[in-house]
């Protein structure tokens, strides 16, 4: 693939490589002529004549001597040119943010970006969605992040109350996660003013920027679009609704708690969540993105306050059902205190489907590496248990992967998560992932000790 990219007409690379090669050959011919003249006209002392014959490969007959020298010279030229290019360009390429090779970068500069491999819609909010976006950004996919707007705490809650705008916090986090801007600009958007007794206490600069841009442009969606340009965002970030909504939760003991920030503090087992107003109108570009997607990802993130509230917006569930995309629910790697205490992976899935009014996703992606989560036990957080997943194997395909970040075991690893999701999307595109009524779960590759496959189930 890379060789075809280099050889494509219009790259403005081949001509300079040919000129460089001609220069090397011409210089080499001049040196060879000079050395040949010295060899023929100068009598070397007896003590060094053997060394001269060895260096000039007199012990190898013609034409093998010339073929050997041409092969070695060509190999050294190619390796030297490639490594020199990498060394010169390394300071200008941040490989942590861009995993494309040099050929792909030059190709994109000459001809524009390639068509994306997949159109991915990620639905959720909070740090979980930001983690997913950082992983997807490194791949050739068109990304649309659809974010909940129910946050009512901290800086976002204060700006929401003061200016009557959707809370910008989760949207800001997604913009920064998808940003191609200089790290300084990303750090600026994430900067939070310290508590010093001023009116700016606790505010994030990015939240203030989006709020100010809303006042300047006259609309929240324009503000998000302009902020995306400032950060050179690779993808789109949009709210699921522009209405001023409040997330409410009903607990098993009958209590009703209003407000996203209050739900996690209420303690108790959540029976259901609902919005006030109950069925807010969806943001239409979000519905269009869902309908045209190749892969729809729900989660990771706070189940009841970040993921499910998006499904309660009018039209979102219907659009997901109508979409021909592969639908994947990414289960959290750990439980969340005050929200999903004691939840297993099956409990996460059942809560999602209960609020969606029935089965909504094709696949459930669950972390299988629980070892790093043992360190979190003193805090009351545990790894999400795999028990009971065989109950849903006939309706939802369960995919087990090691997608945890061992350094931060309460979060997914962005690279592992993105790779696992795109592997599923490619398998579905090739027809290797049985979906809907054709689904039969069989062991593919990997361990089957838990009763369901670690790898991708194959079509019968």
- Name the CATH code of domain 118-148+240-438 (choices 3.40.50.10680, 3.60.21.10, 3.30.830.10, 3.30.460.80): 3.40.50.10680
Peptide linkage before 277 cis (omega within 30 of 0): yes
- pLDDT, residue 439, reads 41
Q: Write phi, then psi, for 257 (nearest 5 degrees).
A: -115, 130
Residue 10: band (very low, low, confident or very high) from pLDDT cuts 50, 70, 90: low
Give the closest residue to 13 by CA, choosing from 113, 102, 140: 102
Helices 14-41 and 64-89, interaxial angle, to 10°?
Answer: 130
Model confidence at 448: pLDDT above 70: no
Residue 41: band (very low, low, confident or very high) from pLDDT cuts 50, 70, 90: confident
- pLDDT, residue 92, reads 58
Domain residue spans in the chain? 2-111, 118-148+240-438
- pLDDT, residue 93, reads 57
Q: What's the whole-number average pLDDT of the chain?
A: 84
- pLDDT, residue 104, reads 66
In this structure, of 10-14, 209-213, 361-365, 435-439, the range with the lowest mean pLDDT score is 435-439
- pLDDT, residue 447, reads 36
Most confident range (mean pLDDT) of 231-240, 325-334, 383-392 is 325-334
Contact indicator for 157, 207 with CB cutoff of 8 Å:
no
Residues in CB range of 270: below 8 A, 6 or more apart: 249, 250, 251, 252, 263, 304, 339, 351
Model confidence at 46: pLDDT above 90: no
Higher pLDDT, residue 424 or 198: 424
Model confidence at 292: pLDDT above 90: yes
Q: What pLDDT, in 10s, does the model give residues 400-442?
A: 999 999 999 999 999 999 999 999 999 999 988 766 534 433 3
Mean pLDDT of 383-408: 92
Model confidence at 231: pLDDT above 70: yes
Most confident range (mean pLDDT) of 23-32, 177-186, 394-403 is 394-403
Model confidence at 221: pLDDT above 60: yes
Cross-strand partners of 123: 146, 298
Model confidence at 295: pLDDT above 70: yes
Model confidence at 124: pLDDT above 90: yes
Model confidence at 302: pLDDT above 90: yes
Mean pLDDT of 187-211: 89
Most confident range (mean pLDDT) of 32-36, 103-107, 183-187, 415-419 is 415-419
Q: Write phi, then psi, for 383 (nearest 5 degrees).
A: -65, 145
Q: What pLDDT, in 10s, does the model give residues 241-290?
A: 999 999 999 999 999 999 988 998 888 899 999 999 999 999 999 999 99
Give the closest residue to 170 by CA, choosing from 181, 183, 159: 159
Residue 181: band (very low, low, confident or very high) from pLDDT cuts 50, 70, 90: low
Model confidence at 458: pLDDT above 60: no
- pLDDT, residue 65, reads 78
Residues in CB range of 244: below 8 A, 6 or more apart: 160, 164, 166
- pLDDT, residue 52, reads 72
Q: What pLDDT, in 10s, does the model give residues 74-103?
A: 888 888 877 777 776 666 555 444 555 666
Model confidence at 449: pLDDT above 70: no
- Burial environment of residue 152 by CB neighbours within 10 A (0 to 12, 13 to 18, 19 or more): buried
Contact indicator for 327, 352 with CB cutoff of 8 Å:
no
Residue 180: band (very low, low, confident or very high) from pLDDT cuts 50, 70, 90: confident
Rounded Cα gap, residues 67 and 128, in angstroms? 58
In this structure, of 179-183, 312-316, 334-338, 378-382, the range with the lowest mean pLDDT score is 179-183
- pLDDT, residue 58, reads 74
* Start-end of H helices in 246-395: 260-266, 284-291, 308-311, 316-322, 345-356
Mean pLDDT of 45-70: 78
């Amino acid at each position: 693939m890379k060789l075809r990219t280099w050889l494509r007409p219009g790259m403005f690379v081949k001509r300079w490589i040919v000129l460089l090669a001609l220069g090397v050959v011409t210089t080499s011919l001049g040196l060879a002529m000079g050395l040949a003249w010295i060899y023929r006209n100068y009598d070397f002392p007896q003590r060094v004549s053997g060394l001269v014959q060895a260096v000039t490969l007199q012990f190898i007959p013609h034409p093998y001597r010339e073929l050997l020298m041409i092969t070695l010279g060509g190999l050294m030229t190619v390796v030297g040119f490639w490594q020199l290019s990498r060394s010169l360009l390394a300071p200008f390429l941040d490989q942590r943010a861009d995993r494309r090779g040099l050929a792909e970068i030059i190709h994109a500069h000459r001809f524009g970006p390639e068509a994306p491999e997949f159109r991915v819609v990620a639905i959720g909010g909070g740090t979980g969605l930001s983690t997913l976006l950082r992983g997807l950004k490194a791949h050739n996919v068109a990304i649309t992040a659809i974010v909940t707007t129910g946050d009512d705490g901290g800086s976002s809650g204060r700006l929401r109350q003061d200016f009557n705008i959707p809370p910008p916090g989760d949207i800001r986090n997604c913009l920064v996660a998808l940003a191609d801007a200089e790290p300084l600009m990303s750090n600026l958007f994430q900067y939070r003013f310290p508590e010093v007794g001023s009116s700016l206490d606790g505010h994030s600069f990015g939240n203030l920027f989006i709020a100010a841009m809303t006042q300047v442009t006259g609309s929240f969606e324009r503000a998000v679009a302009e902020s995306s340009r400032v950060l050179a965002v690779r993808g789109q970030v949009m709210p699921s609704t522009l209405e001023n909504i409040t997330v409410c939760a009903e607990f098993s003991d009958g209590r009703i708690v209003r407000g996203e920030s209050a739900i996690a503090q209420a303690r108790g087992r959540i029976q259901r969540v609902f919005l006030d107003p109950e069925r807010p109108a969806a943001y239409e570009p979000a519905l269009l993105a869902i309908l045209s997607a190749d892969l729809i990802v729900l989660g990771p993130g706070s189940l009841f306050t970040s993921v499910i509230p998006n499904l309660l917006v009018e039209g979102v569930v219907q659009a997901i059902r109508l979409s021909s995309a592969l639908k994947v629910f990414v289960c959290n790697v750990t439980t969340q205190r005050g929200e999903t205490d004691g939840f297993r992976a099956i409990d996460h899935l059942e809560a999602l489907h209960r609020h969606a009014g029935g089965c909504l996703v094709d696949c459930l992606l669950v972390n299988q590496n629980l070892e790093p989560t043992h360190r979190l036990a003193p805090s009351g957080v545990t790894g999400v248990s795999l028990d009971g997943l065989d109950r849903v194997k006939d309706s939802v395909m369960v995919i087990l992967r090691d997608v945890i970040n061992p350094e931060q075991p309460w979060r997914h690893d962005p690279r592992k998560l993105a790779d696992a999701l795109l592997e599923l999307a490619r398998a579905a595109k090739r027809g290797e992932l049985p979906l809907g009524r054709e689904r039969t779960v069989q062991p593919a590759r990997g361990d089957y000790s838990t009763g369901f496959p670690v790898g991708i189930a194959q079509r019968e």
